[in-house]
């Protein structure tokens, strides 16, 4: 039995290119492991609030002293982290919006990166506390950024995932989706998905 956490963040929902590529990857996984359980965290249909002082206060208040609203905030944060901890692999559908990830996906990471739970500071610097597991990123973008030094989407995703201990990151990229060669880019990404060997 394996459990996949599917995190999706395209505002186009099912029609998003990153969502479609992720669906293909999940279908391949199902073909290999029919009993796989897929937990979907849809950050657009179920948006997570921006991280703010209310959240900071809730997370730093002892459980016995929390108000009902604070308990709700902590419960959601705990649930989001548990979904990551309990997964055998994570699939992140991540379009590029304004050179970076969608704000919905940033809000999710703001909940996942929790001091003392998923990372901690040591004398030697920060240490990720999550057990490493494969993370597949389906990265889509309208333009071409590969090697242009303007990509704040994929390098940032690798940085924040590594920060919490997830270093086994695989990126499937579809670039130039608003350009003339979009079909070729999609076909190449589909081919890359079809050649993944799941362990």
C-alpha distances out from residue 100 to 34, 50, 96, Å: 34, 16, 5
Residue 140, token pair as written in the block: 């889509």
135 binds ligand FMN (CB under 6 A): no
99 binds ligand FMN (CB under 6 A): yes
CB 83 within 8 A of CB 43: no
Shortest Cβ 125–ligand FMN spacing (Å): 31
Shortest Cβ 53–ligand FMN spacing (Å): 27
Interface pattern 161-190 for ligand FMN (x via CB under 6 A) = ----------------xx------------
**Nearer to ligand FMN by C-beta: 73 or 95?**
95
Shortest Cβ 128–ligand FMN spacing (Å): 27
Shortest Cβ 55–ligand FMN spacing (Å): 25
Alpha helices in the chain (DSSP H): 17-32, 53-59, 68-86, 103-112, 154-163, 182-194
Shortest Cβ 175–ligand FMN spacing (Å): 8
C-alpha distances out from residue 193 to 94, 102, 168, 183, Å: 15, 23, 16, 15
140 binds ligand FMN (CB under 6 A): yes
One of 141, 154, 160, 164 touching ligand FMN (CB under 6 A): 141
Identify the DSSP state of 132: P
CB 156 within 8 A of CB 190: no
Residue 50, token pair as written in the block: 């921006």
Residues that bind ligand FMN (CB under 6 A): 10, 12, 16-19, 95-99, 140-143, 177-178
């Amino acid at each position: 039995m394996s459990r996949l956490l599917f995190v999706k963040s395209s505002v186009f929902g099912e029609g998003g290119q990153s969502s479609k590529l992720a669906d293909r990857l999940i279908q391949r996984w199902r073909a290999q492991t029919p009993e796989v359980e897929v937990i979907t965290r849809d950050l657009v249909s179920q948006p997570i609030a921006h991280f703010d002082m209310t959240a900071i206060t809730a997370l730093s208040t002892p459980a016995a002293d929390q108000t009902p609203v604070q308990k709700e905030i902590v419960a959601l944060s705990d649930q989001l982290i548990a979904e990551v901890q309990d997964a055998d692999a994570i699939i992140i559908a991540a379009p590029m919006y304004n050179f970076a990830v969608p704000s919905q996906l940033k809000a999710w990471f703001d909940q996942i990166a929790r001091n003392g739970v998923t990372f901690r500071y040591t004398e030697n610097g920060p240490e990720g506390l999550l057990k490493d597991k494969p993370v597949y990123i389906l990265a889509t973008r309208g333009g071409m950024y590969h090697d242009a030094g303007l990509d704040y989407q994929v390098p940032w995703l690798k940085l924040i995932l590594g920060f919490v201990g997830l270093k086994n990151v695989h990126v499937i990229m579809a670039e130039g989706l608003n350009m003339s060669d979009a079909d070729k880019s999609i076909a190449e990404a589909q081919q890359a998905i079809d050649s993944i060997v799941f362990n």
